[in-house]
Amino acid sequence: MDQGPLHFGQLSWPGSDRQRKRWWERKVTSLLRKARLPIAVQRSFDHRLDMVSLEQVNNLYLLLTSVLVGKVPGAVVELGCHTGSTTTVLGQILQNHEQPPAMHVYDLFDGAWSTEESVLDRFRANHAAIGLALPHIHKGDVFSTVPSELPDQIAFAHVDLGVGGDHDLHYRLVTHALETVHARLSPHGVLVLMDYHVPGLTVDGNDSNPGVRKACDAFFLNKRERVITLYGGPCSHGFVRKK
């Protein structure tokens, strides 16, 4: 149900408090400026702990909102969600919309979060913590769940399939995602790609998963669309709008 405009500052996600300036950081920065020292004090982005940057959250907010306002038909899907950092962001945007489309997430949900909690348990707990309904959850290998469990029509897709240092596996995962999702993406639908990095264009981004660009450049070589780089702060980001 539409609850009025959703402001970026109202969004929260696991670990979002780590990226917002604390009062003393603002105070010290203010004092430095008064002393005519062009220095800002802020906690640095930790790629081991912070799953998504403020800039990437803003990109997701703007791109998903554009799809909703444009009434692009289809579901919202996320391939790779782990404990739900970006899922909760997308969910809050959808929850604020009058007639939100269905959301589907796909992940192995593998690996222990703690001695007592699984990744999927943490995913659910993160949604509960902000009063957010769970999306449709598809647990398993993406090679098996996609495309068999994909919606027939997709309006917005977020692909974040990083697997650490195995660049060949990551390349194959992203290629599989592109081949299956792009075919079901509605005209004017949006495909967002985590970790898409182009040296010199991504500005401050980190080339943490080079398989993304390799897979995208090969896939879109003979397509009408091209991947557009986004500013992701300390992270890399790109998107495609279906023609």
Going by pLDDT thresholds of 50, 70 and 90, the confidence category of residue 23 is low
pLDDT of res. 31: 72
Mean pLDDT (whole number) for 194-213: 93
163 in a structural domain = yes
| In-domain check, residue 36 | no
Query: What pLDDT, on a 0 to 100 scale, did the predictor assign at position 1?
Result: 46
Provide DSSP, the chain.
---SPPPGGG---TTGGGTSPPHHHHHHHHHHHHTT------PPP-TTT--S-HHHHHHHHHHHHHHHHTT--SEEEEE--TTTHHHHHHHHHHHTSSSPPPEEEEE---SBSSSS-BHHHHHHHHHHHTT----EEEES-HHHHTTTTS-SSEEEEEE----TT-HHHHHHHHHHHHHHHHHHEEEEEEEEEET---TTTSTT---S-THHHHHHHHHGGGSS---EEEEETTEEEEEEE--
Q: In this structure, is residue 38 part of a structural domain?
A: no
Which tens digit of pLDDT belongs to each residue from 114-173?
A: 777 899 999 999 999 999 999 999 999 999 999 999 999 999 999 999 877 788 999 999
Is residue 134 situated within a structural domain? yes
pLDDT, tens only, 170-189 = 999 999 999 999 999 999 99
Q: Indicate if the pLDDT at residue 28 is higher than 80.
A: no
Residue 153 lies in a domain: yes
Q: What is the pTM of this model?
A: 0.91
Q: How many domains does the chain have?
A: 1
Find the CATH number of the domain harbouring 113. 3.40.50.150
Q: How confident is the model at residue 89 (pLDDT cuts 50, 70, 90)?
A: very high
Q: Is residue 26 part of a domain?
A: no
pLDDT band at 3 (very low <50, low <70, confident <90, very high): low
Residue numbers of the domain that contains 95: 48-241
pLDDT of residue 112: 73
Residue 138 covered by a domain: yes
